Structure 1
Amino acid sequence: MRDLRQILSEDVALLVGQLKHERSEARIEVQSLLQAVLQVHRAYLLAHPEHFPNANQQAEYTALLKRRLAGEPIAYLLGEREFFGLTFKVTPATLIPRPDSELLVEQALARIPAGDDRIRVLDLGTGTGAIALSIAHARPGATVTAVDASAAALEVAKENAQRLGTHNVRLLDSDWFSALQGERFDLIVSNPPYIAAADLHLAQGDLRFEPTTALASGADGLDDIRRIVAEAPLHLSRGGCLLLEHGYDQAERVRALLVNAGFSEVYSAHDLGKIERVSGGCWSA
């Protein structure tokens, strides 16, 4: 049996050695697993380093640690991930929300005046609902529609909406725009699959465990973005805008797709790492 001090010291070293984590990152992960098993706050771990988890807790923690050492994402082990200041349930049926996608939410909110109850927003490929629910939470007057072709993902998004008490979101089973005939929106956002199907990164790290259908999109990663750009004008109000998250090296090609499709005010926004991560344009035709 080990006390908390021993567990932290020994298992942080394991994560650093096997997963090549920074020590600070490894420490946070070990603490997170312990918090989940012991059902305590981080402050308890810091204040009681001499505490011995009981046999059942030790076994549960060890099982989780083995899965993490095998590469399984910490978000799937914990069953949740923080995004835009909110906590979302995640499962292997959904993509794990990432900080990069917060830029898409920020760009969307910049186009939705606070208190405006006329804005209609569409989130394509919602997954956990992180993007749609973050927008809806920050702009309770907006009407947000979130679609996904995965029934399992929609169930997760529905649960997240209930947990957050977000009532201005409609969830629909739809292959992109297929269930939205005749509907138009003031703003369409999407974090679609954008990794090339043969990209070696799909067999590395967390991506090994995430649903490939939410990650890969054709030979160059742009098949789904091409479809969204082509079909979006049929679902945008006059002056409405389309915002797309994409890969670190795809901004120029996405801007070209938007321009060629007739969008105006085409631009790209940089994330905190100075990478062009979101591109968009408006429809005035």
Structure 2
Amino acid sequence: MSTVKQNLARSAELAGSDSARLDVEVLLGHVLGRPRTWLYTWPEYELTVAEQGQFDALLARRHSGEPVAHLTGEREFWSLPLKVDASTLIPRPETELLVETALELCPQQQLRALDLGTGTGAIALALASERPGWQIVAAERSADAARLAEENRRSLGFDNVQIVRSDWFAQIAPQVFELIVSNPPYIDAADPHLEQGDVRFEPRSALVADREGLADIEHIAVRSVEFLTAGGWLLVEHGWQQAAAVRDIFAAAGFHNVESREDFSGWERLTLGQK
């Protein structure tokens, strides 16, 4: 059987991945039930027949393009281990900007927040981990994604988050929030990136929106005015080329103090506004 060191060297088999070495480390650590640091502490460990077979199978699936998060069934977001599957988007590091900004704008310890299109529950659960006094409603249209979000909520033990089935605001009872956040679909159906990378394995309904990707953002902005208290904030993640258009949408909906924020790559990926 091959050693850990020999298997780590197989990153060359994933030449098409931008993170080949990391992919191999995560998959091998997953098979062995060990953290990535352990792999370099015990490089001469020989995999058993069963471990080698499992690793070979996962590596082959990754070579065919399947996301690592789907292969391991987990992705970390805001230092929280979240279960993931093909029913929703894989949480991405860029979305942590939305969490950071929400916490910056809303330092209060008591607050009602709404997360629209929660998916895995990543944003709502990250906020709950930092603000245990907040009451957070996390809405999700997909039944499968809502079940996944509830599973993550129970696993992490955040009783201040309520997962509800709702098509945006449609099933949200009349009430007001001090904060509304969302990472909605914002990709144009004609975007060629939909046929590349991990997004090929994610649900189109969570990625694509009409009107060149802006339809859901506009719907959220217009309806949020009804559900926000005076002075409340709306934060929306969007595509790197959409900031100006989203600022116009927010302004047209009546929001003030509208601005966009850059992610760690320098792209404007978040727009916020105050009622």
Same fold (TM over 0.5): yes
Which residue pairs with 1:4 in the alignment? 4
State the Cα deviation string for residues 163-199 of structure 1 (Å, max 9, x = none).
2121100110000001113111111000000000111
Looking at structure 1, the residues matched to 202 and 141 of structure 2 have their Cα atoms a distance apart, in angstroms, of: 16
Identify the residue that residue 99 of structure 2 maps to in structure 1. 105
Q: Which residue of structure 2 aligns with residue 166 of structure 1?
A: 158
> How far 1:70 sits from its partner (Å)?
0.3
Counterpart Cα distance in 2 of 1:190 and 1:172 = 15
TM-superposed CA distance for 1:251, in Å, is 0.5
Counterpart among 72, 90, 94 of residue 96 in structure 1:
90
Of the structure 1 ranges 161-170 and 68-77, higher mean CA displacement relative to structure 2 is found in: 161-170
Question: Is 2:258 the partner of 1:266?
Answer: yes
Residue aligning to 1:241: 233
Higher mean alpha-carbon deviation, 31-40 vs 193-202, is at 31-40
Please, which runs of 5 or more residues in structure 1 have no aligned partner? Answer: none
CA drift of 1:20 comes to 4.4
Alignment deviations for residues 110-134 of structure 1 (CA, whole Å, 9 cap, x no partner) = 12225x22x1000000000000110
Q: Residue 198 of structure 1 corresponds to which residue in structure 2?
A: 190
**CA shift for structure 1 position 44:** 3.0
1:55 is displaced (CA, Å) by 1.2
Provide the identity percentage: 48
Q: Which of 176, 179, 195 is the aligned partner of 1:184?
A: 176
With normalisation by structure 1, the TM-score equals 0.93
Per the alignment, in what secondary structure is the counterpart of residue 260 of structure 2?
strand
| Aligned residue in 2 for 1:250 | 242
Q: CA RMSD in A?
A: 1.2
* 1:78 paired residue number: 72
Looking at structure 2, the residues matched to 120 and 235 of structure 1 have their Cα atoms a distance apart, in angstroms, of: 11
The question of 1:31 aligning with 2:25 is answered yes
Tell me the TM-score normalized by structure 2.
Answer: 0.97
Cα deviation code 1:221-266 (max 9, x no counterpart): 0111111111111111111111110000101000001111111111
Letter in structure 2 aligned against 1:127: G
Task: List gaps (5 residues or longer) in structure 2.
Answer: none
Letter in 2 for 1:55: V
Q: Which runs of 4 or more aligned residues in structure 1 lie more than 4 Å from their structure 2 counterparts after TM superposition?
A: none
Alignment equivalent of 2:44, drawn from 47, 50, 56: 50
Alignment partners' CA distance in 2, 1:166 and 1:181 = 22
Aligned-pair distance for 1:219?
Answer: 3.9
